[in-house]
Structure 1
Amino acid sequence: MEIEELLSSYANGERNFAAINICEAQLSGVNLSGAILTKANLSLANLSRANLSKSDLSYAKLNVTRLSGANLSEAKLNYAILNVANLILANLGDAELVEAALIRAELIRAELSRANLTGANLSNANLREAKLRQSNLSRSNLSSADLRGASLIAANLEGANLQGADLSRADLSSANATNAEFKQANLSFCNLSGANLSGTNLRWVDLRGANLRWVDLSDAKLSGANLTGADLSNTNLHNASFVHADLREAKLMNADWTDANLSGANLTGAKLHSVSRFGLKTEGIICEWLDLSPDGDRTQIRRLSPDEVRKFFHQTLPTIQIIIDAPLDHESHINLATAYYEIAQKYSPLSQPPTIKLSHRRTMLTFAMENDNQLFSAAFAAILPFVDSEATQRNLVRFLQILQEENLNILQEKEKAKIKNIAEFLTAELSQTFQIKLMKSALNIHKKLQFFHAPTQTVLCNSSDQTLPVYNHPNFGKHWVKSANFVDPDEITAIESTKYTLPETSIISNFVKNFTHN
């Protein structure tokens, strides 16, 4: 069919031109909207600025075809072959390109928003500054593609191959790239805020200066990645691998990297305010200094020797232990669970129930905290169901008063100021829980239950594995008889009764001095 015949037939209402062969045709600016061109051969044709919106080009051959500025919105190009095609500034919005071949295609500034590119081959394609918002690129091949400055906001890249691709300064905010392949890709200064990169391979990726705020990078592989100056604030890094990664001056404020592998990583100058450090693998870690200031403005610099680095990155979980000098019976257990549920409604750090260790003589409740800063206020709330609550709470308040007194037995004035600042912060935290005391009469604990009248001990343990006894009832353990053969490791020991006295000021100050108040 000649070109004149094609255009005449289209003008007369004909739309079905399936399998037409118009290779090298000159069709610049033509209107073929809605035409059926399945399996057509349009290779080397000139269709620049043509209107092919809503047309069906499935299985068509468009190798090296000129489609610059063409309108292909809502067109069907499933399984079409567009290798080395010129689609610069083309409109492919809402188009279907499932399994399409676009190897080395030119798509500079092309409109591909909401397009379906599932399984498409875009290897070595040029998509610089292209718009791919909400597009479906799952299982697509974008290896070595040029996506510099492209917009992939809320795009689906699940299982996609972007190995060696250049995405510098691209916008992938809120994108889904779970289990995608980014090995050796360039993501420098890229916006990935709110994206899902769980399980993604980011080995040897360039992420310098990238925005990774609120990103899910759980189980991601970032070995050898360059993250210098990247912003990972509030990011989920659970079980991520950073082996030999470069995290110099990266922002990690409020990030969760529990069980992450940081072996051989460089964290010099990293910003780690409010970052927990539990269960980390840190063999061979490099870290000369850290920024612990809340705003990452270097107002709280901490320099670390190699030995201090090891200690800093090997925290233990802060805990509150309440030992009750009585076994936990069934009715008391129900009352205790109800009481802590009601307390948690007012004080969220106790939303997780305690672990309970039982023996036929004693009960131990252990509350795990997210950070040291919660220990005093959480202990103030946790003891509330027991008769010993008044005495225990009184001691907690007294500790904080001691830490703010002028006669602190601290050798250096700088340390004294640091401890007083921490104490002021903890006092503010504690003051917010004073309303918890008003709940005591409303907890509906059965007054006849002896379990809540039994003597108690309360002990705090900070993230440096230091302990601080808060309260020990004078009658704790008095009704016991110590056996010389008492060696059962499951029993709660230390059975001699001793009258509690406030710890020395130096013990209290050393306990809070090592708080991760950052």
Structure 2
Amino acid sequence: MEIQEFLTRYKQGERDFAGVDLSRAILTGINLQDINLTGANLTGANLSWSFFNRAQLANACLRQADLRHVTFTSANLSQAILSGVNLTKADLHFANLSNSDLNWAVLEQADLTSANLQGAKLDQSNLEQAKLIQAQLMQAELMEANLRRSQLINANLNGANLREANLELADLRDATLIGSNLTEANLNGVCLRGADLSEADLHRVIMTGADLSDACLSSADLSRANLAGSYLLKTSFRKAYLLRAILENVLMLRADLSEANFRGSNLKRADISGAYLCDTTLSETDLTEALFLESSLIRVKLDRSQMTGCCIYNWQLEDVDLSQIDCDYVYTGFNYATKSPTDRYPSGRNLKPGELAQQYREENSYIKINFKEAPSWEALIFSLAKLEQDFPNLKLTIKSFESVAGGYLLKISCNRPVNSKNLRSRWADTYLNMFQKLQVKRQKILTLLNIIEDKTQHILTPKKSIVTTPPPEPMNEENLNLYREVVQQIEIIIMSQTPEKLVESIQRLLNFINVKGIATEEITNKIIGQAILRRAKQDQPFQKQLIQWEKSAAPAIRLSPIGSAIRSAIAILWQESQ
């Protein structure tokens, strides 16, 4: 059809031009909205700067057409042939391009927001800086496509083929790429925050400096991938494969690494603090100078891994074999102010083979509990039973109970290595809870056990108060016993917990007795400070923790009654050291 005839008929109101042949036609800057060009031949046509809003172009052939700056808003281009077209800066808002052929097409800076590209062929296409926000790209073919700096926020790329694609510096926040193929793709500096890459194939992908915080890579394959320097905060790698991957200097804080396989990977200087590793494989990995602050390792395989210079401050191990690791020394402390490990172990020498494993077994096969006065054995036994109930595979046995300077020492053996510090803290809370319940339910329990209580001697009442000064006001016997027990528990907490945790634990106890109408001024004004000083004088690491707490605690905590008591103790320590 001649171009002039075509334009005249369109101006007269005709819209149906299905199957028309307009190949090589020059139709620049023309408004052809709502036109029907289904199956039309527009091969090599120049349609730049034209308007095709809501146009019907299904099955049309636009091969090698010039479509720069064309507006295709809400147009239907499904199954259209667009191979080799130039769509630079084209507007394809809400366009339907499903199953279309866009191989070798130029879509640089094109706007495809909310476009439907399901099943589209985009191999070797140029989509640099294109907007694909909320675009539908399920099962799309994007092999070797250029998506550099493109915006794919909340886009759906499930099952898409992005093999060897260039996604450098692209924004894929909250995008879904479930089961997608990204083998050998370039994802340097990409933002995948909150994205879902479950079961994706990322074999040999290059992802240095990428942001995958809060992303899900469950069951994904990242074997031989390069993620050096990436941000992996709270990322899920559950059941993922990272065989021989490069993960140097990654930030993997609070990540879920359960059942992931890192065999042979490079994790030098990786920060794995607060991460959860359960049934994780770290065999033959290089963990030199890695940080495991507050990390949980349960049944983790570490055989033939290199762990020299690791910081293991307050890590939690359960059923972990350290006997086959290669390690000269570790750090057991961390300075949060300078963000550097402290307290090299062993000092002045290197570890002997198997020494770290031996120490771990010895230190974590039992827990030590200090008492100012003799404990309530009823509450003690019930609290141990409760812990065994909370941890089904844990068996606790009283190993010894002896009088020591300033009180009593109870040793409880465990059937497997545990984190003694955390378990001791958990026990302190459980013991107090059991003591309080026994005060209420004791007579009923004794009746069920067919035990007649001797009223002349109350088992739960300590023979002597552990309080060095009398309570601030007269109390009845029940409140006095409760006051004494709370003070005892506060001393146990102070002797076993870090400053950050003990503030919270003590506050719960004070709230409890305040509800009972018992004053707490004596506790906050004197008892807490005295206990803090006692521990600090015999526990050098605790002194460092106090100094760190003084610098980092929130103002509201520092100025609270408990915080003030701690600060007063710190001031006394400082004066005595001068």
Task: State if a TM-score over 0.5 links the two structures.
Answer: yes
Q: Which AA in structure 1 matches 2:390?
A: P
- 1:282 maps to 302
Shift in Å, 1:9: 5.0
Among all aligned residue pairs of Structure 1 and Structure 2, give the percentage whose two residues are the same amino acid: 27
Distance 1:309 1:132 in 2: 51
Of residues 121, 128, 136, the one that matches 2:156 is 136
Q: For residues 336-370 of structure 1, give each alpha carbon's deviation from its aligned partner in whole angstroms, at most 9, with x where no partner exists.
A: 99x97xxxxxxxxx898354999xxxxx9999999
- Alignment check: 8 A CA contact 2:59 2:77 kept: yes
- 1:433 maps to 505
Distance 1:275 1:442 in 2: 36
Alpha carbons of 1:3 and 1:306: their partners in 2 closer, same or farther (altered >3 Å)? farther
Question: Is 1:199–2:219 an aligned residue pair?
Answer: yes
SS of alignment partner, residue 340 of structure 2: coil
Q: Which AA in structure 2 matches 1:74?
A: F
Q: For residues 182-230 of structure 1, give each alpha carbon's deviation from its aligned partner in whole angstroms, at most 9, with x where no partner exists.
A: 0000110001111111111111110000000011111111111101011
Alignment of 1:318-357 (within 5 A): 353-355=390-392
Distance 1:388 1:38 in 2: 85
Shift in Å, 1:313: 11
- Alignment check: 8 A CA contact 1:277 1:314 kept: no
SS of alignment partner, residue 243 of structure 2: coil
Distance 1:2 1:375 in 2: 87
- Alignment check: 8 A CA contact 1:3 1:22 kept: no
Alpha carbons of 1:307 and 1:298: their partners in 2 closer, same or farther (altered >3 Å)? farther
Shift in Å, 1:301: 5.9
Shift in Å, 1:275: 1.3
- 1:212 maps to 232
- 1:383 maps to 431
Shift in Å, 1:53: 1.2
SS of alignment partner, residue 311 of structure 1: helix
Moved more, 26-35 or 93-102: 26-35
Structure scoring higher RCO (CA < 8 A, sep ≥ 6) equals: 1
Alpha carbons of 1:176 and 1:8: their partners in 2 closer, same or farther (altered >3 Å)? farther
Alpha carbons of 1:312 and 1:147: their partners in 2 closer, same or farther (altered >3 Å)? farther
- 1:417 maps to none
Q: For residues 285-324 of structure 1, give each alpha carbon's deviation from its aligned partner in whole angstroms, at most 9, with x where no partner exists.
A: 01221235264822426466473686299779888799x9
- Alignment check: 8 A CA contact 1:177 1:197 kept: yes
Distance 2:69 2:223 in 1: 41
- 2:357 maps to 311
Q: For residues 15-63 of structure 1, give each alpha carbon's deviation from its aligned partner in whole angstroms, at most 9, with x where no partner exists.
A: 2110001111111111111110000000011111111111100000011
Question: Is 1:251–2:271 an aligned residue pair?
Answer: yes
SS of alignment partner, residue 298 of structure 2: coil
Q: Structure 2: any 5+ residue segments left out of the alignment?
A: 16-34, 314-333, 370-375, 396-411, 436-458, 467-484, 516-534, 543-578
Q: For residues 114-161 of structure 1, give each alpha carbon's deviation from its aligned partner in whole angstroms, at most 9, with x where no partner exists.
A: 000000000110000000000000000001000000000100111111
Distance 2:224 2:417 in 1: 35
- 2:254 maps to 234
Alpha carbons of 1:13 and 1:314: their partners in 2 closer, same or farther (altered >3 Å)? farther
Shift in Å, 1:382: 1.7
Distance 2:148 2:343 in 1: 40
- 1:97 maps to 117
Question: Is 1:123–2:143 an aligned residue pair?
Answer: yes
- 1:373 maps to 421
Superposition CA RMSD, Å: 4.3
Where is the helix percentage greater, Structure 1 or Structure 2?
2
Q: Moved runs in structure 1, 4+ residues, more than 6 A?
A: 312-322, 364-370, 387-401, 438-443
- Alignment check: 8 A CA contact 1:355 1:366 kept: no
Residues paired across the two proteins, number: 411
Alpha carbons of 1:431 and 1:170: their partners in 2 closer, same or farther (altered >3 Å)? closer
Q: Which AA in structure 1 matches 2:192?
A: L
Alpha carbons of 1:256 and 1:354: their partners in 2 closer, same or farther (altered >3 Å)? closer
Distance 1:9 1:320 in 2: 92
- 1:452 maps to none
TM value normalised by structure 1? 0.69
Of residues 266, 278, 281, the one that matches 2:286 is 266
Alpha carbons of 1:58 and 1:310: their partners in 2 closer, same or farther (altered >3 Å)? farther
TM value normalised by structure 2? 0.62
Alpha carbons of 1:367 and 1:65: their partners in 2 closer, same or farther (altered >3 Å)? farther
- Alignment check: 8 A CA contact 2:425 2:497 kept: no
Q: Structure 1: any 5+ residue segments left out of the alignment?
A: 327-331, 341-349, 359-363, 402-422, 444-504, 513-518
- 2:478 maps to none
